[in-house]
Amino acid sequence: MKTILATILSLLTLWTAPKKNTPDTNVPAPNIPLCGVAHMQLLAGDPAFQALHENPVPFHYTSKAGEMMTFQTPDGKTANGFLLKSKKPSDKWLLVYQEWWGLNDNIKQQAESFYNDLKNVNVLAVDMYDGKVATERTEAAKLMQGADKARLGAIMKGAIAYAGPKAEIASVGWCFGGSLSLQSAMLEGKQAKGCVMYYGFPEQDVEKLKALDTDVLGIFGNKDKAIGPQVVDTFEANMKKAGEKIEVVRYEADHGFANPSNPVYDKTAATDAYKRSLSYLKDRLKA
């Protein structure tokens, strides 16, 4: 834990230092507070954090209802997503954010589970790596570290715009995606109806947390050596200072405990966490 925290503190100065490169004026600023995501990217460079992620067990999933698609992003590009359209016309949307591995079959399966259980909700699992998927932790670390902040913001904004201005949106994500889920909720503004984040590094700026127009369900593991109890305690305190509501659920489990393709998968904790998440999302995305 000390090694990981030391890495964050030593690299944070480098992360926030002014860049000498001339910015690309053709790409609009995403206008997104990515501090929590930045911390996750810093963690990715720490061997101790990488060691928390065993390489996933090979897993293949064939969807019965979803398909890959593309949508426009405000930087003039397109992004990918795995879309499961509601069987009936609906303005209810769930945005699903990947782990550091990328939009792999495990995330697609998770997205389809929510789709089947929520009923009449459009589910979009967003590809934050533009088609890249890692199967080894060293590769995943490089992808997460190398993800451009402006591009991440543009992809999230594009997904929100694809849902439409009348959409009522909730989000869910794991690990890197847990941080992204929280940032997405900030971007969604008054369209935000719910946010579930599994063991992602939270936003620490109280002023930025005040941008939330929804409450948050945070799911964490007490054995997590990166986003551990101290980090979670601070997050709860910061949310209170910001005047925002949060429910935190803690399990005696490791980082990545909810991923069935992860060797540290904890079925009991994962099953309970999913039930809580589903109940929360059903309540926030009522028909």
Tokens 């990488």 locate to 50
At residue 278, what are phi and psi to the nearest 5 degrees? -65, -45
pTM of the model: 0.87
**In the chain, what are the domains?**
2-284 (3.40.50.1820)
Please give the pLDDT value at position 60. Answer: 86
Q: How far apart are CA 170 and CA 59, in angstroms?
A: 27
Residue 17's CB is within 10 A of a number of other CB atoms, namely 8
Q: How far apart are CA 105 and CA 110, in angstroms?
A: 9
| Cβ atoms 157, 187 nearer than 8 A | yes
- Going by the DSSP 8-state scheme, the letter that residue 88 receives in this structure is S
Please give the pLDDT value at position 145. Answer: 93
Please give the pLDDT value at position 35. Answer: 61
Please give the pLDDT value at position 18. Answer: 38
Quick one: residue 245, left, alpha or beta (phi over 0 = left, psi -120 to 50 = alpha)?
beta
At how many degrees (to 10) do helices 35-44 and 149-163 cross?
130
Query: Position 164: which residue type?
Result: G
pLDDT digits (tens), the chain, 287 positions: 444 444 443 433 333 333 333 333 333 333 444 567 888 888 888 888 887 787 887 888 888 899 999 999 999 999 999 999 999 999 999 999 999 999 999 999 999 999 999 999 999 999 999 999 999 999 999 999 999 999 999 999 999 999 999 999 999 999 999 999 999 999 999 999 999 999 999 999 999 999 999 999 999 999 999 899 999 999 999 999 999 999 999 999 999 999 988 888 999 999 999 999 999 999 999 85
